[in-house]
Copies of this chain bind each other. A is one copy, B any other.
Amino acid sequence: VTADQQDDITAEELDRQSELNGRFGQALRELVDASIRTAVAADDMRRAMLEIEQITVRLRERQLPGSFGSKVSPQGERLHWGNAAVGLRNAIAPPLLVERDPSGNGNVRAGFQLGAAYEGPPGLVHGGICALILDQMLGEAASAGGKPGMTGRLTITYHQPTPLGKLRAEAWIDRSEGIKTWARGHIIGSRGVTVEAEGVFILPSWAREAWAG
Residues of A within 8 A of B (CB): 1-2, 5, 16-17, 20, 23-25, 27-28, 30-32, 34-42, 44-46, 48-49, 51-53, 55-56, 58-64, 66-70, 81-85, 87, 89-92, 115-123, 126-129, 131-136, 139, 150-158, 161, 164, 204
Contacts and interface: CB of A to CB of B under 8 A. Distances in A.
Scoring A51, A69, A154 by chain B CB atoms within 10 A of each residue's CB, the highest score goes to A154
A151 B158 CA distance: 7
Given A126-B85, A155-B153, A62 B49 contact: no
Contact of A66 (B5, B68, B123): B123
Contacts of A204: 121
Contacts of A129: 84, 132
A91 B117 contact: yes
10 contacts: A16-B42, A31-B55, A34-B56, A37-B67, A44-B58, A51-B51, A126-B136, A127-B150, A128-B131, A152-B158
A37 B49 contact: no
Given A27-B53, A34-B59, 9 more contacts: A34-B56, A38-B64, A40-B63, A48-B55, A67-B164, A87-B119, A90-B119, A126-B136, A129-B132
Given A1-B40, A38-B59, A119 B69 contact: yes
A48 B32 CA distance: 15
Contacts of A151: 127, 156, 158
Contacts of A27: 49, 52-53, 56
